[in-house]
Structure 1
């Protein structure tokens, strides 16, 4: 089996938040397809940043290099690609996203060729994951946050995450919003917060103190640029578990987190970090240091597999915006049922592109 063709296109999807009717986060995807001589087609994806540059890198630079190679020879392929994307140091930015596209498609092919899911290829720990829902956007006021959360509970969601660093009144208002949701949902509903790397160390420390008694499940991306030193200082001063890894979750970054004792929960995202091959490295590092492995940042169906595949996998993310995008991209996706998401039965990542949607959402340069 050899790689015969590599394509990449950019697509823009419509999303909307309930009640307020505003867009629900990033809605642009680079969709990569890798075809083999035996007729297998693997799907890969990247999100959000400089999408046309990413698609161009896939089509004009990385794709031609892997033509004729066996898609299952991941180490050989990465050895060749890494020399192109960065001959020195850590690969970042557009290079990393383009690498993610191709690598994810190769894992999809490996699954389809073997008749196994990617989760099974990674270790097959479970056929499902527990899930949490990212719902608490800054566009909602306090009462709307509660209304949306209760509606989601009625649809089978059991764990929730809301954004902080978004309140017009600063961290004091953020704390009030968190406390309002906690009081409404009660003490038995897991609730996490996410600052999207928006707070200074001082702000993150003060906010942590304000909401520590709210039994916060974790504080995600709390400080600017996720500086490992600042995260390490914050972790020593709060009882709230810290998590990171969404946007720059390659193994070198997690090694720095470990060296500074920065985080409690590993959250790699295969759409940004170079693909499932890199996420596998991070997962093994998490196992070595006895850390749970989770998911955040719009990885959707792809990240579901790494959480299910490894025995230290914990929670996968359901996201109000990402779920809408994936329902348009794919003919069907697994839905949350009583707080869980099942890994699709079909091999690879278990999803099929909706070709009509691909044509309707194609975004020109």
Structure 2
């Protein structure tokens, strides 16, 4: 089985904050399709940032380099691609996003060729993942946060995440957390996410304000999630810290571990170089006895690693990503009572909605 074609396209989807119908943002996806001489077509993807640049990297550099290679030879393929992505030093940003597109498509092919899901290829710990919902957007007023939380709980969800470090200010953010906790009670898991938006002193200040509200984790609390600062924060708060959605390659996680800075591993295969890199991160999380979760709107691409590994805990349902996947796929996986089943079909188990992709196609 050999790779005979690599195709890449950019698509723009629309989504909105529920209840208030405010656009979240223009949501771009870079979709890569790799076809083999045996007729298997694998799907890979990256998201949101520098979309034309990522597509150009795939089309002009990475795609041509893998033509004629066996998609199952992942180490051989990565050995060929690494010098193209970064001749020296660590690979980051657009480099890894381009690699993610290619690598995820390869895993999809390997699954389809073997008749197994990606979760099974990773170890098959479970055929599902329990999920949390990222819903607490800054655009919501406090009453919307409470109303939406109750709607989600009514749908069977018991794990919620909301944003802090917003333009509303730390004191108001803390008040919003308190209001949500009071409204939903103690039995519902509640986490917070600062999207790398706070200085160390700000992160510590709000952590102390919200510690009484039984916060499950504080995600990406600091600018650039600096390992030293994150380690210092972890020593001074009782809230577990998580990171990894945007630059979560294995060297970054090793740095966090070495600084005793992280409680929960949250890699995202759309940004870190793909499922091959996430597998390295997952093994590191097992070595250090840390839970393996998901963040960053990874959707179906991250669902599989949470299900595949024994220490996989929670997959993310992001209300924006959920809307995109409803448009992108013919029959995307959906949560039932807070749990998402791995699709029965091999690979990632999803089929692109070709009609919608025509409508959402972005041209240069």
Secondary structure of the residue aligned to 2:135 is strand
CA contact (8 A) 1:41 1:109 kept: yes
Q: Pairwise mapping of residues 1-365 of structure 1 onto structure 2 (< 5 A)? A: 1-25=1-25, 27-168=27-168, 170-365=169-364
Deviations 1:47-95 (A, max 9, x none): 0110011111101111001000000000000000001101111111211
For residues 187 and 154 of structure 1, the distance between their equivalents in structure 2, rounded to whole angstroms, comes to 16
CA contact (8 A) 1:24 1:320 kept: no
Secondary structure of the residue aligned to 2:302 is helix
Superposition deviation, residue 24 in structure 1: 2.7
For residues 156 and 33 of structure 2, the distance between their equivalents in structure 1, rounded to whole angstroms, comes to 33
Structure 1 runs not aligned, ≥5 long: none
CA contact (8 A) 1:111 1:347 kept: yes
For residues 194 and 95 of structure 1, the distance between their equivalents in structure 2, rounded to whole angstroms, comes to 26
Write out the 4+ residue segments of structure 1 that deviate beyond 2 Å after TM superposition.
none
Secondary structure of the residue aligned to 1:172 is helix
Secondary structure of the residue aligned to 2:42 is strand
CA contact (8 A) 1:246 1:297 kept: yes
CA contact (8 A) 2:6 2:35 kept: yes
Secondary structure of the residue aligned to 2:22 is coil
Superposition deviation, residue 201 in structure 1: 0.4
For residues 216 and 26 of structure 1, the distance between their equivalents in structure 2, rounded to whole angstroms, comes to 30
Superposition deviation, residue 22 in structure 1: 1.1
For residues 25 and 217 of structure 1, the distance between their equivalents in structure 2, rounded to whole angstroms, comes to 27
CA contact (8 A) 2:14 2:26 kept: no
Secondary structure of the residue aligned to 2:268 is coil
User: Structure 1's 25 and 132: CA in aligned 2 closer, same or farther, altered over 3 A?
Assistant: farther
For residues 115 and 138 of structure 1, the distance between their equivalents in structure 2, rounded to whole angstroms, comes to 43
Secondary structure of the residue aligned to 2:44 is strand
CA contact (8 A) 1:134 1:160 kept: yes
Secondary structure of the residue aligned to 1:84 is helix
For residues 339 and 357 of structure 1, the distance between their equivalents in structure 2, rounded to whole angstroms, comes to 27
For residues 111 and 18 of structure 1, the distance between their equivalents in structure 2, rounded to whole angstroms, comes to 35
Q: CA RMSD in A?
A: 0.7
Using the TM superposition, name which of 332-341 and 292-301 deviates more.
Answer: 332-341
Secondary structure of the residue aligned to 2:5 is strand
For residues 132 and 90 of structure 2, the distance between their equivalents in structure 1, rounded to whole angstroms, comes to 31
Superposition deviation, residue 27 in structure 1: 1.2
Secondary structure of the residue aligned to 1:9 is strand
For residues 340 and 105 of structure 2, the distance between their equivalents in structure 1, rounded to whole angstroms, comes to 22
TM-score, normalising length from structure 1?
0.99
Secondary structure of the residue aligned to 1:272 is coil
